[in-house]
Each structure stands twice: as structure tokens, then as C-alpha cells.
Amino acid sequence: MSAIRKLLIANRGEIACRIMKTARGRGIASVAVFSDADANALHVRMADEAVHIGGPEPAQSYLDIEAVIGAAKASGADAVHPGYGFLSERADFARACNDAGLIFVGPPAQAIAAMGDKAEAKARMIEAGVPCMPGYQGEDQSEETLVQEAEKIGFPVMVKASAGGGGRGMRIVEDKAALSDAIQSARKEAKSAFGDDRLIIERAVTGARHVEIQVFADAHGNCVHLGERDCSPQRRNQKVIEEAPSPVISAEKREEMGAAAVKAAQSVGYVGAGTVEFLYDPARDEFYFLEMNTRLQVEHPVTELVTGLDLVDLQLSVAEGAALPFDQDDIDFEGHAIETRLYAEDPAQGFMPHSGKVRLLEFPDMEDVRIDAGVEAGDIVTTFYDPMIAKVIAYGATRDEARAKLAAALRQTKLLGFAHNRDFLIALLEDDAFAKSEADTGYIERNLDRLTKREAPGRAAALALAGAAMVDLPFGDLLTGWRSRGGAGFPLHLVNSSGEIIKAEIALDGAKVTASHGGAEATIEVLSKTEDTIRYRHANRIGEARYARNHSHLEIDCDGAWERYTDLTLAPASEGAGGDDLVKAPMAGLVTSLRIGTGDPVSKGTVVATIEAMKMEHQLKAPRDGVVAEVFAREGDQVAIRAKLVALKAEE
């Protein structure tokens, strides 16, 4: 036994904060590491001490093994917890920690290496007798071979980064015509995210469920499973909602999958917390090994809630050399837990990641609702890292109870500063198919338009609320002191976050604000107004709207709906809207390729440029047929959101 006294967390954001809470409860001092971009981050403020490790790019800081080990030595830490992401599944990092005399809170380096490469892991699982998906994981990585193997497997197929995870470097391909582009795109993304562009190809199962098993092992030969999590609702092959237990797995199938997961872990001499991921085919009632994540999962809280265990506490105990304090028969599963990931991203714009200052962030204080947050109001969400804001998790005696609590908690969550996915999460939780446990891994993609359709905050009173928010002076006690551009009213010319241009007229009459638009009008009576809150009455109903203004931008959150408007009241329409002749950057990021030059003809839908932000690649397409009139950026440029990239003109 070797007691941990000071723990360095080699990570950032939500998971670093979560680990610190358990460490503090054990009397362990915590050490944070931070990049230039994270000097004032929440995990730095929470830690007992913090050490700077480099520049904002992950490769300059959180992925720099030498810098992290140096920080551990400089701080006097005796152990390192890698969290998830970054260095958590790097065998060379685990080895470097051990070589430096540090306790690595994770599995042995050889176990990470064995499971870290998807191709090698799959070969090992086949040898161990764990059910595996038919596919190709060979050394020949030529495109010709990959195409031939895909044809042997039969479409649809899944192209996956061999060294990857988190949905990066992963593409579903429906037919041969799309395979070449998918291979090239997956290679590029895999190289950027993992420094390794090798791929594997597997059969894609229609209607599949993503079910994973939490395993835990100690250094004394004990290994158990802690039940399953269903992570089927996904976008871009990344998990959106996770729950435990799975609503589609029988008790008998749980034990069968649990036994296979334990066998998988034992085959590589595993120690610590790990997750074995399976693809479950409901039509055949069969499951197939996908991969093993040799770390703590993002979704571990749902397992904690249904088992009553603290997985980080167990990790620290096992790392100190203790044996597991229970065996398989001692583990009980009670109730149901569901987790959502609150992200700075716009589902209505292809889940485009966003960045900026958190101007308002409030979570509800509800029984059986857990919040694992990585930022607070006033913090900055940068373009350098994953844009997760928090995880919101609810527990109930039944699935429906947990689902209802979680939807209510999200409605009461207030976030202003950038686009986010809260409204989308609510829509998904309340969707009939999800309620009936019918949402498979492809459900979100098939129903994207419906699930991401925006509802105006304040509904019919939305524009009147916007007008009230834009009045220059806040109300006094008697609702006096109104001042506006037009005396008793003013024109309202807005562009919403979907690019829709809205022209309305605002009329002011004491405490009443009336908005006229498209032949209809709505009037609200403002009961009180502060710098971020409007209480109002509309049609005998009292409501509350939260808002934030930043230069020409106005955000409003009301009735569980969010919208961001650009105020063009004093600007020409063409200047704000951009029209169909410009391709602009939809987010701040790095221009990784420009596929056109001045004078080149383009067709509508042609990819003209790609931008990388938060380790994801985004293709930008021509909005119409035409000719390239001007190119404003170069490959390698770091551009701001809405920066002009390419201008088009009509063909002569």
C-alpha cells in the first residue's frame, strides 16, 4: 500500500473539477495543470495549487508528457490522474509516470497499449473469444485495399480511426461512391486528433444500440462489472444521452455481456476502471465488441447513481494498492439514471461548436439532479478544447421519472454567451421514440430537422421581449426612464441564429411593449427589468426572460427556448446578411484547406474550404453556382467567426 498525499490531475474542465471533489474528500491535495488559455479556468481556481505547462494548443500543453511530468515533480505530487481524453489512453504517459516514481491512477501501460489500438484490440478479443464485428483491421492501409475489404463486408460500413475515440475519425458510408471521400476525411481527422491516420473498417448495423459495460479490476486478480450503460442517441458518432441501465437489455443479456467484458479486461491484465463498448443488435439479440476505453468515461456518473459507488474513489484506492471491497454478488443496481452533455454548439447548424464568454450560467437546485460543471459565469470557452459546459444527470426510481426530472432540470438551466444544445436535449428527452426506448444510434441523424427546429423564446411575445431588452436604460421602480432610438417606438431589424431576417416595429406605451411583424402583433407588460432579467405579463400569463446584450448581439432565454439575434436596426440589410455571394467562417478556427482559387467555377454544394475547430473538421460549401471572385484567407490562417473566406460572382 502506498497512500496518495498529493494528486496532480493531468486534465482540465469538468473532469478535473470532478476528480478534485473526491480527492478533497479523501484529504488528498490537488494540483492542477493549465495552458495559456486556461490561466483563469475553473479547475485552476478549485485546485490547491496549479502549474503552468505551455501554450493553448493541446500539443503545447495537455498533450506534452514532459511538461506534465515536470509539473508533477515541481509540485511534489506523488500520483497523477489522467481523467479522460488528452493523455488518458497513452501507454507512453503511464510508463513515463511510473519511470518518474509517480503513481499512475489508471491501468498498466501494457494494458493501455493492448486496448488503445482498435485493430490490435479487436485481434486480441477474437483470440479471447469475445464476440467481434466482422471487419478489416489489417496492416495494409492503401485505399485500394480498404475499398476491396469494404466491398467484401458489404455496405453500409463504418470507417474508424484505429487509434481514435470520441467519434473522431469515424464515418458511416452507405455505398462505394462515398467511400473514397470518407477514407480521406477520416484519415485527416484521425491524424489531427491522434497523430495516427490508420483506419479499420467494420460492418455497420442498422438499428444498432450502443451498450457499454463498466468494469473494475484490482492488482490482486479481482475483476467485476458494474452493469451497463446505453449510449445509443449519438450525433457525429459522439454520445449525446447516456443512461443506466439500458432499457433494451434483459437481465440475462446483462450478465452475458458483463462476463464478456470481464473476460476482455482480464485478457490484458487490466487494473482500475475501464469500459468495454459493445454494439448490440436488437433484431438478432447479439452483441459485438467495439473497443475498450482504458480510462474513466464521461458518462460514469450514471453508473455511480445506480450502484451508489464513487468510481474516482475506487480508482484512487486501487491505485494505492487496495483490493476491491466487494465481489460481483455484492453489487446492486437500483433505479435509473440519465445523463446529458451540455455543449457550446449549435444543433440547428450541424452541431457547429461555439466559443465565447459565459455571460450567464445557472443550474437548478433539485433533488436527485447532479451537475458536473467545468465552467462558471464569466469564464471563457475557447476554440482549443472540447466545448463541454457541464453534464446534467438525473436519478429516479423508474426511467420515466429520471427522464422527467432531467427535462425539468434542463428547462431551468440558463446559459447565455453563445449557442448551446440545451433546447435540443430537451426535445430529445421528450421525443416519443426516446420515451419508448426506441432511439438507436442513427435516430438523431434521421430526425435531425425535427429535433433541432427552433422555438422562439417567449413564443408569440418573442419580438416584444427583444424590443424590451433593447431599450437603453433599465426600468426604475415606477418603470420610468425609457429611452429608445425613436422616442415612442423604433424599427426592429434582426437576423436570428438561423439566418432569417426579421423586420418588425416596436411601440412603447409606459410599461407596455408591442411588436408588429407580418400583419400580427403581440404586447407584453414589463413588470420589472434588471440588467439580465425581464419579468413580464403576456395574455394573462406572467413569465420571466433572461437576456444578455453584447454589442450588436442579443440573446434571450425564455420558456425553455434560446435564441440569439444580431441587431441590424441601424445597418443596411446586405451588410449584415451577407447574401449568397459570400462563404463565411461559421466558427472561429483554423483554415486547413482551400480547394478553389480566384476565377474557378463552382457549383452549389461544392466544398470550397475546410475549417478545423476543437479537433473537428467542418466542410464549407458554395451556396450557389458561380465563379470565385475573391479568396480572403490562406491555408493555415486562424480566422474569427463570420470572417469572410470566399466571395462568388455570377458566371459571365
pLDDT, one tens digit per residue, over 527-586 is: 999 999 999 999 989 999 999 988 778 999 999 899 999 876 643 333 333 446 888 887
C-alpha cell at 411: 428547462
pLDDT at residue 228 above 90?
A: yes
Q: What is the DSSP string of 39-59?
A: TT-HHHHHSSEEEEEE-SSGG
Q: What type of residue sits at position 89?
A: E
- Mean predicted confidence (pLDDT) in 54-60: 96
pLDDT at residue 487 above 60?
A: no
- Mean predicted confidence (pLDDT) in 285-306: 96
* 506 vs 492: CA distance, rounded Å: 7
Contact 368, 405 (CB under 8 A): yes
Ranking 20-24, 218-222, 564-568 by mean pLDDT, the lowest is 564-568
Residue with cell 430526425: 447
Q: What is residue 472's predicted lDDT score, i.e. its pLDDT?
A: 55
Ranking 119-133, 206-220, 337-351, 523-537 by mean pLDDT, the lowest is 119-133
Q: What is residue 439's predicted lDDT score, i.e. its pLDDT?
A: 96
pLDDT at residue 89 above 70?
A: yes
Q: Which of 229, 295, 403, 546 is catalytic?
A: 295
* 516 vs 529: CA distance, rounded Å: 22
Contact 577, 609 (CB under 8 A): no
Ranking 34-38, 413-417, 577-581 by mean pLDDT, the lowest is 577-581
Q: What angle do CA 61, 64, 70 make, to 5 degrees?
A: 95
C-alpha cell at 29: 491535495
Q: What is residue 236's predicted lDDT score, i.e. its pLDDT?
A: 80
Contact 260, 276 (CB under 8 A): yes
Q: What is residue 644's predicted lDDT score, i.e. its pLDDT?
A: 85
pLDDT at residue 498 above 90?
A: no
Ranking 108-112, 284-288, 635-639 by mean pLDDT, the lowest is 635-639
Q: Go through 450-477 and write b for each residue having 16 or more CB atoms within 10 A of its CB, e for each that does not.
A: ebbebebbbeebbbbbbbbbbbeeebee
Q: What is residue 500's predicted lDDT score, i.e. its pLDDT?
A: 87
Q: What is residue 580's predicted lDDT score, i.e. its pLDDT?
A: 64
pLDDT at residue 1 above 90?
A: no
My answer on whether omega of the bond before 387 falls inside 30° of 0, hence cis, is no
In the sheet with 157-161, reading across from the earlier edge strand, the strands are 135-136, 199-203, 157-161, 170-173
* 6 vs 20: CA distance, rounded Å: 11
Q: What is residue 584's predicted lDDT score, i.e. its pLDDT?
A: 83
* 508 vs 489: CA distance, rounded Å: 5
Q: What type of residue sits at position 261?
A: A
For the stretch 508-527, pLDDT in tens is 888 899 999 989 999 999 99
Taking the CA atoms of residue 481, residue 484, residue 488 and residue 489 in that order, the dihedral angle to the nearest 10 degrees is: -140
Residues in the chain: 652
Instruction: List, in sequence order, every residue forming a beta bridge with 584; answer none if it has no partner.
Output: 644
- On average, the pLDDT of the chain sits at 90
For the stretch 139-162, pLDDT in tens is 899 999 999 999 999 999 999 998
Q: What is residue 615's predicted lDDT score, i.e. its pLDDT?
A: 56
How, if at all, do strands 601-602 and 589-594 pair?
unpaired
Q: What is residue 491's predicted lDDT score, i.e. its pLDDT?
A: 84
Up-side HSE of residue 353: CA atoms within 13 Å toward CB? 22
* 448 vs 114: CA distance, rounded Å: 37
Ranking 206-215, 321-330, 587-596 by mean pLDDT, the lowest is 587-596
Q: What is residue 616's predicted lDDT score, i.e. its pLDDT?
A: 63
Taking the CA atoms of residue 172, residue 176, residue 178 and residue 184 in that order, the dihedral angle to the nearest 10 degrees is: 80
Contact 28, 4 (CB under 8 A): yes
* 177 vs 35: CA distance, rounded Å: 43
Is 295 a catalytic site residue?
Answer: yes
* 127 vs 124: CA distance, rounded Å: 5
Q: Hey, what domains does the chain have and what are their CATH numbers?
A: 6-105 (3.40.50.20), 134-203 (3.30.1490.20), 209-451 (3.30.470.20), 459-567 (3.30.700.30), 578-649 (2.40.50.100)
Of 116, 72, 75, nearest in space to 92 by CA: 116
C-alpha cell at 118: 482498435
For the stretch 230-253, pLDDT in tens is 999 998 888 999 999 999 999 999
Q: Please give the sequence-ordered ranges of beta strands (E in DSSP) within 174-322, or none if there are none.
A: 199-203, 209-217, 223-230, 234-235, 238-239, 241-244, 272-281, 286-293
Q: How many other C-beta atoms can be found within 10 angstroms of the C-beta atom of residue 228?
A: 27
Q: What is residue 284's predicted lDDT score, i.e. its pLDDT?
A: 87
Ranking 91-95, 110-114, 605-609 by mean pLDDT, the lowest is 605-609
For the stretch 170-219, pLDDT in tens is 898 999 999 999 999 999 998 888 888 999 998 888 889 999 999 999 99
**274 three-class SS:** strand
pLDDT at residue 77 above 90?
A: yes
Q: What is residue 119's predicted lDDT score, i.e. its pLDDT?
A: 81
pLDDT at residue 478 above 50?
A: no
For the stretch 425-471, pLDDT in tens is 999 999 999 999 999 999 999 999 999 998 899 999 999 999 998 87
Q: Please give the sequence-ordered ranges of beta strands (E in DSSP) within 344-407, or none if there are none.
A: 345-346, 352-353, 356-357, 360-362, 369-373, 380-381, 388-396
pLDDT at residue 612 above 70?
A: yes
pLDDT band at residue 614 under the 50/70/90 scheme: low
- Mean predicted confidence (pLDDT) in 275-301: 94
* 103 vs 174: CA distance, rounded Å: 46
* 62 vs 78: CA distance, rounded Å: 19
For the stretch 353-402, pLDDT in tens is 999 999 999 999 999 999 999 999 999 999 999 999 999 999 999 999 99
In the sheet with 103-104, reading across from the earlier edge strand, the strands are 49-54, 29-35, 6-9, 79-81, 103-104
pLDDT band at residue 606 under the 50/70/90 scheme: confident
Is the pTM higher than 0.85? The answer reads no
pLDDT band at residue 476 under the 50/70/90 scheme: very low
C-alpha cell at 329: 454478488
**324 three-class SS:** coil
